[in-house]
Amino acid sequence: MSSHAELKALEQRVIGCTKCPRLVDWREEVAETKRKAYIDEDYWGKGVPGFGDPAADLMIVGLAPGAHGANRTGRIFTGDRSGDWLYGALYRAGFANQPEATHIDDGLELDNCYITMPVKCVPPQNKPNAEEKSNCAPYLVKELELIKPKVLLCLGGIAFTEVSKILEVKPRPKFAHGEVHKGLADFEIVNCYHVSQQNTQTGRLTEEMLDSVFTSVSELLKGKSSS
C-alpha cells in the first residue's frame, strides 16, 4: 500500500474511532444539541482526521477539534475563530491558497503543510484526559511516519508535550512561544501559543506574533532544503 493510500486508510480509522466513550458521547451530544447559530446545519460529530498536503515538510500540531468548529464541519480548524487566525496566517505565509476555512468543500488547499491534532475528538471543556491522549497517540505516530515532515509547529503547551512524549525527547524543554528547537529527535520544532480565542482576544497572541512564527518556520524549511 502506498503512503498516500495508507494516509487515506488512517483518516477512515480516525473517523470511525470509538476508543474513548467519554469523547464519543460528548462529540455526539454536541452534534445533536448544536449551537443556535448552526441549528439548521448537520454536524459532523465524529473523529476529525488531519488535513493537508500528504508530502508536506511542515506539520502543524494543535490540541483537539472545536465543538462548533471541526466537530461541526468535519475539517480541522474549520468554521471557527481559531481557524480564521490559523488559515489567515498560512495564506500570508504561502502555505494556503485562501485565508478562509468555512466548510469542508470551500476549496481550501494547503501547500507543503499538513495540520493535525494529538486528540481527534472534541473533549468536554476542551480538556482531554491522560487516557484519551494515550488512546489517540498512535494516530499521530502514524501521521509522522507517513508524512515525514521536516518541521513541526506545536500550537500550545499540550501539543508540545504530546509531541515530545511521542518522540521520546529527554529532557523535555519547557514550552515557550516562539522557541525554536533544532534537532529534537531529528525534527526541527517550533512552539507557538495556540490560536484559541483566549489567546487572540486577550492579545496574548497577535497577528504579528503569529506571522513571526511562520517566518521562523519558512527560514527553517529553506535551510533544510538547501542542506
Summarised one tens digit per residue, pLDDT across range 21-72 is 999 999 999 999 999 999 999 999 999 999 999 999 999 999 999 999 999 9
Domain range annotation of the chain: 3-226
Cell numbers for 141: 505516530
User: How far apart are the C-alpha atoms of 60 and 82, rounded to whole Å?
Assistant: 14
Half-sphere exposure of 82 (CA within 13 A, CB side): 22
User: How far apart are the C-alpha atoms of 116 and 179, rounded to whole Å?
Assistant: 20
User: How far apart are the C-alpha atoms of 115 and 77, rounded to whole Å?
Assistant: 9
Class of domain 3-226: alpha beta
77-90 confidence digits (pLDDT tens): 999 999 999 999 99
Backbone angles phi, psi at 4, to 5 degrees: -65, -45
pLDDT at 226 over 80: no
Burial class (CB in 10 A: 0-12, 13-18, 19+), 115: buried
111-160 confidence digits (pLDDT tens): 999 999 999 999 999 999 999 999 999 999 999 999 999 999 999 999 99
